[in-house]
Each structure stands twice: as structure tokens, then as C-alpha cells.
Amino acid sequence: MASSINFVLLTTLLSLLAFQVIASDPSPLQDFCVADKDSNVNVNGFVCKNPEDVKADDFFLSANLDKARDTTINKVGSNVTLINVMRIPGLNTLGISLARIDYAPLGENPPHTHPRATEILTVLEGTLYVGFVTSNTDNKLFSKMLNKGDVFVFPEGLVHFQFNPCPDKPAVAIAALSSQNPGAITIANAVFGSKPPISDDVLAKAFQVEKMTIDWLQAQFWGDNHN
């Protein structure tokens, strides 16, 4: 009898753990759960607004995604316009967001990860060289040259990038992400631009370079290409 109970408890525990691994964003248990950003209650995501107070504008944003963005405001030559739950409250619990990405000639969206989302990217204009790298220990690069109308997928959590190889033509892409708040960790910014900075002893050992090289990198301005 005891062994049967232990088996049931173990099975239940494993099932719950598997659910937590599979579930990225919380699944909706009703038609919608519009984010109530004025609530003081802390939850994983946002508290639901009273359905009686929900309006069509909670699901709408005049985002002007048909308009080109300024790609000269940072050194990497790209501009990411993210439409997530912070901008459309109706996205809360729906597990999806959207981004327009503009690339200057020879501009890039530098190596980064989305800790909470898979990304599917479509090229609207121009050409992009894109890729992602698998986790340790293989660190295998999967890359592709994309043209207008092509689509590419970046698996959740993996380091990936996009680069416009054309010296005289801009590029534009639209990306969909499988989270209401996918997050972004730009590798160079996180490693060399953290506040406070990571010890140069640590980074010199990790990258197998002199500390003066690390000091120079940390002294650079690591701007953000998201808005």
C-alpha cells in the first residue's frame, strides 16, 4: 500500500515538473486577461482587469509599424520596435508578441537571447544573414542567407543574430515571439556593459585575453537597440 502511494506521489510530482518545464507563459483560463497595470498585487505576469472595464483599445496599438525606424541612434545599426504586453495590455496570458526590426546597410541585431520565447522571423525588405548557436558542448552554428519573403526560426533561449550584408541597402524584418514578454539579453552588453562591471580578472580568464583588452571593452558605450 505504501509503495503504491509513493508511486502515485512520484508520478504526480514528475507530471507537475514536466508541466512547469513545458509552460513558458501561463495559459489563459478564460477568453482574455487584460493586464491591470495599476494593481499593486505581485503575480507572475499581470493581474486581470475587471472584464466589465475592458475596452477594444486594450487590444489595440497605433504602432506605425509600416514606418521606417532610425537606425543611426546606436553603433550596431539596427532598431528593434517591440510590441509586447507592456504596450498592449490585452496580450497578457496570450503568450505572443511582435517586433519590427530595421537594419541599416551593414547593420546588425547583435548576438542575443530571448530567455522566454522562440522567435520566427520574416524578411520584408532586403537581405539578412542570420543564425543561432546550440548549447554546450557542441556550440554548433546554424546559419542562412535570407531574402525578401524568407522565414527563419530561432529556438527559445539560444544565442542568435541577424546581419544585413548589403553595403548600400537597408533591410526590414518582422518577428513573432512566443511570449507576452520574451525578454532580450544582448551578449556583449551583458558581459562587458553590466552595472557594476564584472571583474576583469573573471573576463580575462574566460576569454583568454589580457586584462587591458577587457578594460578597453568595458570602457565602450554598450547602447541598446530596443525601443
Provide the pLDDT for residue 24.
Answer: 63
Write out residues in the chain with pLDDT < 50, as ranges: 5, 7-23
Contacts (Cβ under 8 Å, ≥6 apart) of 23: none
Q: Binding site membership: which residues?
A: 109, 112, 114, 119, 160
Provide the pLDDT for residue 44.
Answer: 84
Provide the pLDDT for residue 11.
Answer: 46
pLDDT digits (tens, 9 = 90+) for 122-176: 999 999 999 999 999 999 999 999 999 999 999 999 999 999 999 999 999 999 9
Provide the pLDDT for residue 29.
Answer: 81
Provide the pLDDT for residue 105.
Answer: 98
Q: Binding site membership for oxalate: which residues?
A: 109, 114, 119
Provide the pLDDT for residue 3.
Answer: 55
- Angle (CA) 127 95 176, round 5°: 10
Q: Binding site membership for Mn(2+): which residues?
A: 112, 114, 119, 160
- Phi/psi of residue 199, each to 5°? -55, 135
Provide the pLDDT for residue 43.
Answer: 84
C-alpha span between 27 and 93 (Å, rounded): 6
Q: How far is CA 76 from CA 32, 95, 110, in A?
A: 38, 29, 7
Provide the pLDDT for residue 156.
Answer: 97
